[in-house]
Amino acid sequence: MVFVHGILSNGEACWRHQNGTYWPELLSRHAALGGVGIYEFTYHTGFFSGHYDLGNIVDALKECLHLDGVDQARKIIFVAHSMGGIVVRRYIVQCHDELVERSAELGLFLIASPSLGSSYANWLSPIARFMGHAQGQALVFCQSNAWLNDLNSDFRNVLARRKLVIHGRELVEDRFVILKHFRVLEQVVPPFSGVAYFGDSFKVPLSDHFSIAKPTDDQAIQHRMLCKFIEGIAQQKHNPGNVWECAHGFKACVGASEICIIAGRIEEYPMGPGVVVVLPCDEYFEGQCARDSRTALGVYFNRYCAKEASNFSDLVRQECRKRFGAGKLQQKTMEESGESHGPGRAVFVPDPSKNAAAIVLVSTTTQRAGQGLAARMSYVFDGVQELFELLADRRINEVVMPVLGAGHGGIDPLLALAGLVLALAEATHYGPDRQRRKKITIVVFQRTKHDPPDVASDGIRKVLELVASKT
């Protein structure tokens, strides 16, 4: 839980009622929230804050959450009053990719927080201009307020993209603010400015812009609503948020690892430093698979390693002998025999092109006379187990692979994908090096951007939900 106060206030004045009730402390006494941490963020704001603007406040929020370890929590709920909601929304927009990357889940409990500006800021604008008050000027309620308009658009885009799980409630004030000498102001945050994002708003009876953030006791409606909101997020065991959208696909956290499934072509996936590409082959680990342009191995090899064909065959043969020893002679066809190292085996091959990626070959198929090529899911499970052994030996944390067994192996692509993800989940939980976090990307074959992938997006999501719901 992160409390963020509003403009011209602080962590003490914003949340404390005149009877002494302090909202963060009141929340800490709620029995059902015993395992929830409470953090209060206070920033520099006041009539003399000058050029310390909203961007500086967002920077301070990021730094404080990082220094105090709050940003490592997978679930973070922000309770934000007035300008505090603007600060938090800008933080979410700026840190969106990082939050998505670590599968964060956010709650946003907005209390009289303007989306398009505040009449309070309009009233303060002459003072803000005179004193060079950057925060007050940024909140002015007008159509030409580019800063707030851009933030409103950016945050709506974050919600629309649905890559980041965000739960939200919005509370709005009920009454006008009455100042000393009986000067009456209109509502500081008009309902249409304070109700913009989550569609389930609530007007707190008898509240004004300041009292709405100061519940009198544990029976106050805003306190009870916040407790219910937190419970709904903190106690949620299984929800669609276990799977997140990513570019061209979906991803989920499985054990200590992240599995991402996208549509595309394996040879077009950008390989960064330290990434290993996993490619299927038959039990003979020989050059014929690499020369077959109809296979994932063949297409990848022809793109990056075509000039190294003879060297690649020799290198694979050396690595197989080193890892497995001598193979067993098998009749591949009626006219040809070969040295088999068996299905469900994996071998590491250093990058033969010196400019792409190292390769792990996994034997997912057999080839026998009178039978042709055949894949089984048991070969994939055994091959993934050996893959994790190789990753553990070399301390490799990121791998990319096609759907093993779905090509010449003949397994239906959806069943092959489901089997592969289950094999990866098993290895992540029980295999070697399972404590080390890994990023695993599976590329479902899609011939062109205009063609449907071998597995539809609904199928990809369901496969990930199958394993994500058990973690």
Identify the residue with better confidence: 36 or 213.
213
Alpha carbon distance 80, 9 (integer Å): 12
Structure tokens that stand for 309 in this block: 């064909």
pLDDT tens profile 92-137: 999 998 888 777 889 999 998 876 544 444 444 444 443 444 444 4
Q: Which residues contact 438 (CB under 8 A, 6 or more apart)?
A: 256, 257, 258, 391, 397, 398, 399, 428
Q: How many CB atoms lie within 10 A of CB 263?
A: 19
Candidates 410, 412, 388, 392; CA nearest to 401 is 388
Q: How confident is the model over 279-298, as a mean pLDDT?
A: 79
Alpha carbon distance 393, 116 (integer Å): 55
pLDDT tens profile 347-362: 999 887 777 788 999 9
**pLDDT score for 121:** 41
CATH of domain 2-236: 3.40.50.1820
Determine the residue type at 146: A
Lowest mean pLDDT, pick from 184-188, 247-251, 340-344, 404-408: 184-188
Alpha carbon distance 302, 291 (integer Å): 8
**pLDDT score for 32:** 79
**pLDDT score for 143:** 44
Asked if 383 and 371 count as a contact pair (C-beta separation under 8 A), the reply is no
Identify the residue with better confidence: 202 or 184.
202
Answer whether residue 46 shows pLDDT above 80.
Answer: no
pLDDT tens profile 393-410: 988 889 999 999 887 778
Give residue 110's region: left, alpha or beta (phi > 0; psi -120 to 50): beta
Superfamily of chain region 244-468: Leucine Aminopeptidase, subunit E, domain 1 (3.40.220.10)
**pLDDT score for 112:** 87
Asked if 344 and 378 count as a contact pair (C-beta separation under 8 A), the reply is yes
Asked if 232 and 75 count as a contact pair (C-beta separation under 8 A), the reply is no
Answer whether residue 38 shows pLDDT above 90.
Answer: yes
Domain with CATH 3.40.50.1820 in the chain: 2-236
Query: Mean pLDDT highest for which of 216-230, 271-285, 319-333?
Result: 216-230
DSSP state for residue 31 in the 8-state scheme:
G
Residue 30 CB-density burial (10 A; 0-12 exposed, 13-18 middle, 19+ buried): middle
Answer whether residue 419 shows pLDDT above 90.
Answer: yes
Determine the residue type at 469: S
Q: How confident is the model over 439-468, as a mean pLDDT?
A: 90
Query: Chain-wide mean pLDDT for the chain?
Result: 82
CA-to-CA separations, 166 to 109, 159, 375, in angstroms, rounded = 10, 8, 42
Calculate Rg over the CA atoms of the chain.
Answer: 29
Report the interhelical angle of 54-67 vs 83-94 (nearest 10°): 70
**pLDDT score for 204:** 93
Domain with CATH 3.40.220.10 in the chain: 244-468
Lowest mean pLDDT, pick from 14-28, 160-174, 190-204: 190-204
Structure tokens that stand for 398 in this block: 């990121």
**pLDDT score for 253:** 82
Alpha carbon distance 306, 235 (integer Å): 54
DSSP state for residue 134 in the 8-state scheme:
H
